[in-house]
Structure 1
Amino acid sequence: MVSNWEPGTFYGQGSVVNYEGSQYKIIQPHSSQSDWTPPVTPALWGKIPGGGHCDNQNPGYNQGYQQTGYQQQQPYQQPQQQQWQPPAPGPENAYAGGQHPDQKIHIKPEEQKQNWYDLDDKRKQELKIGGGLLAGAAALGAGMFAYKQHEKNEEEKNSLAWGLQNWLAEARNRADDFQRNGPRGPATWVLTQGRSIPPHAIVVGKEKSWTLYISRAFQDSGIQLGKASDVFKKGAVIGYKNDEIHLDSYEILVGDMRGLTWVSMHGRFNHNALNGKRPVEGGRENDGTPLYIAKAPHKGAEHPGKASEKLEGAFIPYDGTEKCVKDYQVLCYL
């Protein structure tokens, strides 16, 4: 019997799952994450033509969290100051939280889950003419999340703009849900801007006199992990291809360490070394490779970074580049 796709599950070679009425077969073994559903990760899952109907819907991250027993034992108490709101975007990132004012064409939710290259030429043209790419293009034009944009052709730039604005829309939805309903578990990604650090952002450590938090952001068609602090010139720093990239619109990890733990790791990330624990949702490379939240010691401090099955250790952004640390820890649910 084919089971329903679920987040926080390791899928190995030969796995087949149901998701929203369709069946998908594994392409690349990985640990599933809540926002990496089969339809939006074609590098990880291949849709089976004519797949059977799935009667039971995916139970979702929130239900899985409730089943852990953590919520019954130590319920998360939402503090009064949780009414924090991210600051209004400045002119350089005015479209980080919503639709471009000149957009005249409606983008369907299911389209936002598609890769730009999966859209037909007619729809691409409609999106370009009707302003469906203006939000992402404006952000890229301002340098936000752009990586060596000058080296890319027009179609690659369109793909980046499409991916960027869809990530921004998803991040805004997550932040809005957090503001309305509070945390969905002991760890929640919240969209923020600049040096505005929301209450209960998870602390990784201290570097000199400042505090380091966990951040992530869209970069070159992937979602990269890094660090945030209210002393950084833009607020967040991510590492990518041996560069340290400063960003002022990003997600920061908010949570409660009573429901989380750090698990030691050496070298490449190994799911079996987690002793049955489930890693917290991290990011992904632009080829779909999952990235996991890591912290690693360097120069007398603990630094947030990333780990994966393809990296030789934890990579942390530091001093204009990335440093590889072989002994590190991965953030997991209890």
Structure 2
Amino acid sequence: MSAPYWEPGTAYKPGDVVQYEGHRYKIVIPHTSQSDWAPTVTPNLWGRLSDEDQGQWGGYQEKHQQPAAYQPAPEFHPPAPEGQKVDIQPEERQKHWYDLDDHRKKELEIGGGLLGAIGAAAAGYYVYKHHEKSEEDKKADSWALQNWLHDAEARLNEYKKYGPRSPAQWVLNRGKNIPPNAIVVGPEHDWMLWICRAYVDGTIQVGKASNVFEKGAVVGYDNKEIQLDTYEILVGDMHGLQWVPASGRLNVENLGLRPVEGGRDKDGTPLYIAQGPHKDAVHPGIASSKLDGAYIPYGGKQVHINEYRVLCYNY
């Protein structure tokens, strides 16, 4: 009996196989299909079956197709700018503050569309060296921070609604409540370390989370450790991931697999998730094409590690 054709608006369950554009696909993550979620463009949802063999498919093995369900921390919503009366379009959130024209900037300020330092503090967030910046730089920093918080909340809501759609996903978290399916790096003394990321000074930095930390998360930046209460934590399933050895300046092509992107530097350079040994433990940090190795937050600063591993997808 041939498999049914894939159709949007259909609730697909574990074990389902469909036909699409002349090939067969098997479900990876159960979901209700949408018109823009065809099997050819959603490899995290559908795995293409061999025309001869139905044993395996891209992404997960069948026995590992359902990672643990996410159990979030208590409900958290980043604060909207106080008295906001202006609508901010998605494409506008992708722009730098300095790319907005003066009229639009004024609309955002007067209409309450700009998160201030008080609102950032209410979000449990530390605005990096805010007092040392010019008024325009403060506005740019607040604009970037609130847009990251907005996008992070959207990622969390999507995860709650649809469940896992990839072996590695970022979800918004707060404080010391670590989700049970957060990806573990390893123990340090008698506690565990997980992977986190957060906005700092126009960048998205990767660091470590633990329920023993003062606020829940620590990232490195400007050769300092920064304690944060509001951050994203990496959740997923290591059956779809692996750590790949690297050294010195990262050459992504030499990894042989696609690395999981962790963040971005100020100039847009991708920062990838690294782990490296230090002080009898393995710590998460960053690696990139512009760094001379991996850097991890430790002991109040960033520590350089030449030999490290990078988190990559298995496919």
TM range (shorter): 0.7 to 0.9
Q: Secondary structure at the match of 1:166?
A: helix
Report whether the alignment pairs 1:220 with 2:201: yes
Aligned amino acid, residue 99 of structure 1: A
Q: Deviations over 1:133-172 (max 9, x none)?
A: 0367620688724111121101111111110011001000
> Does the CA contact (< 8 Å) of 2:251 and 2:289 recur in 1?
yes
> Does the CA contact (< 8 Å) of 1:136 and 1:165 recur in 2?
no
Equivalent residue, structure 2, for 1:87: 74
- Correspondences of 1:52-91 after superposition (within 5 Å): 63-65=42-44, 66-67=46-47, 69-71=58-60, 73-79=62-68, 82=70, 84-89=71-76
Equivalent residue, structure 1, for 2:282: 302
Structure 2: runs of 5+ lacking an equivalent: 1-35, 48-56
Higher helix share: 1
- Correspondences of 1:301-320 after superposition (within 5 Å): 301-320=281-300
In structure 2, what is the Cα distance between the partners aligned to 1:153 and 1:134? 16
User: 1:301 Cα shift?
Assistant: 0.3
> Does the CA contact (< 8 Å) of 2:67 and 2:237 recur in 1?
no
Equivalent residue, structure 1, for 2:269: 289
* Aligned residue pairs, count: 269
> Does the CA contact (< 8 Å) of 1:269 and 1:313 recur in 2?
yes
Aligned amino acid, residue 69 of structure 1: G
Aligned amino acid, residue 131 of structure 1: G
Match of 1:252 among 233, 237, 240: 233
- Correspondences of 1:44-55 after superposition (within 5 Å): none
Q: Deviations over 1:238-273 (max 9, x none)?
A: 000100000000000001000000000011111122
In structure 2, what is the Cα distance between the partners aligned to 1:281 and 1:62? 19
Structure 1: runs of 5+ lacking an equivalent: 1-56, 90-95
User: 1:212 Cα shift?
Assistant: 0.2
> Does the CA contact (< 8 Å) of 1:137 and 1:161 recur in 2?
no
Report whether the alignment pairs 1:200 with 2:181: yes
In structure 1, what is the Cα distance between the partners aligned to 2:235 and 2:88? 30
The structure with the largest alpha-carbon Rg is: 2
> Does the CA contact (< 8 Å) of 1:186 and 1:255 recur in 2?
yes
Aligned amino acid, residue 269 of structure 1: L
**Identity over the aligned pairs, expressed in percent?**
52
Equivalent residue, structure 2, for 1:125: 106
Q: Deviations over 1:37-83 (max 9, x none)?
A: xxxxxxxxxxxxxxxxxxxx89899713344612463453254x63x
Report whether the alignment pairs 1:180 with 2:161: yes
In structure 2, what is the Cα distance between the partners aligned to 1:260 and 1:251? 19
Report whether the alignment pairs 1:273 with 2:238: no
Q: Deviations over 1:191-224 (max 9, x none)?
A: 0000011121000010000000000000111100
Equivalent residue, structure 1, for 2:139: 158
Output the aligned Cα RMSD. 2.3
Match of 1:233 among 202, 214, 224: 214
In structure 2, what is the Cα distance between the partners aligned to 1:290 and 1:136? 27
In structure 2, what is the Cα distance between the partners aligned to 1:62 and 1:197? 31
In structure 1, what is the Cα distance between the partners aligned to 2:281 and 2:210? 14
In structure 1, what is the Cα distance between the partners aligned to 2:63 and 2:261? 21
Decide whether aligned partners of structure 1 residues 75 and 135 sit closer, same or farther in structure 2, where only a CA change above 3 A counts: farther
Q: Deviations over 1:93-144 (max 9, x none)?
A: xxx5252352111111121111111111001000001110036762068872
> Does the CA contact (< 8 Å) of 1:279 and 1:332 recur in 2?
yes
| TM-score normalized by the length of structure 1 | 0.75
In structure 1, what is the Cα distance between the partners aligned to 2:172 and 2:125? 15
> Does the CA contact (< 8 Å) of 2:259 and 2:312 recur in 1?
yes
In structure 1, what is the Cα distance between the partners aligned to 2:310 and 2:244? 5
In structure 1, what is the Cα distance between the partners aligned to 2:41 and 2:301? 37
> Does the CA contact (< 8 Å) of 2:60 and 2:239 recur in 1?
no
| TM-score normalized by the length of structure 2 | 0.80
